[in-house]
């Protein structure tokens, strides 16, 4: 089980603006600890384990933050409309579009996804996979 995911950032205030554009709408609350950011999902009643936390931190080795090649963090949205809205908000908050929201031929018929890069190049996906919504072949 994944307990947390961490990405690096050199300018925490800039990273906070980017992640504040969409993580609160997905249920995350932001906490700061020693100048770094922690995004936490609340534990739901009856839930046996907490969902993974998401951390944004300056690299411990003091070197510049860099994005991992092939590394991506995906956040589940409630529906396709939320994917579109949060993707747009994240781009407006300093992110870079890496793939407009939509269906991809290589994924399932209901997997609707938009891709971004945060201000440090970390790849982020926002997706919905709701079979009650129109699918790619609808």
Domains of the chain: 4-128 (3.10.180.10)
Question: Percent of the chain having pLDDT more than 90?
Answer: 70
pLDDT over 70 (residue 138): no
Strand partners, 126: 75, 114
Q: What are phi and psi of 85, to 5 degrees?
A: -65, -45
pTM value surpassing 0.75:
yes
CA 97, CA 120: separation in Å to the nearest integer? 13
Segment 48-105, tens digit of pLDDT: 767 889 999 988 888 998 888 788 999 999 999 999 999 999 999 999 999 999 999 8
Q: Which comes out higher in pLDDT, residue 61 or 22?
A: 22
Q: Pick from 103, 87, 113: which is nearest to 136 by CA?
A: 103
**What is the per-residue pLDDT for 1?**
63
């Amino acid at each position: 089980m994944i307990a947390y995911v961490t990405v690096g950032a050199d300018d925490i205030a800039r990273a906070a603006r980017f992640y504040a554009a969409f993580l609160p709408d997905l249920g995350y609350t932001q906490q700061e600890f020693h100048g770094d950011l922690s995004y936490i999902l609340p534990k739901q009643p009856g839930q046996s384990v907490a969902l993974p936390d998401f951390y944004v931190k300056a690299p411990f080795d003091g070197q510049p933050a860099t994005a991992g090649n092939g590394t991506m963090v995906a956040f589940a949205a409630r529906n396709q409309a939320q994917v579109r809205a949060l993707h747009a908000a994240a781009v407006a908050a300093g992110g870079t579009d890496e793939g407009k929201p939509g269906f991809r031929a290589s994924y399932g018929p209901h997997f609707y996804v938009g891709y971004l890069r945060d201000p440090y190049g970390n790849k982020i996906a926002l997706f919905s996979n709701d079979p009650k919504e129109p699918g790619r072949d609808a």
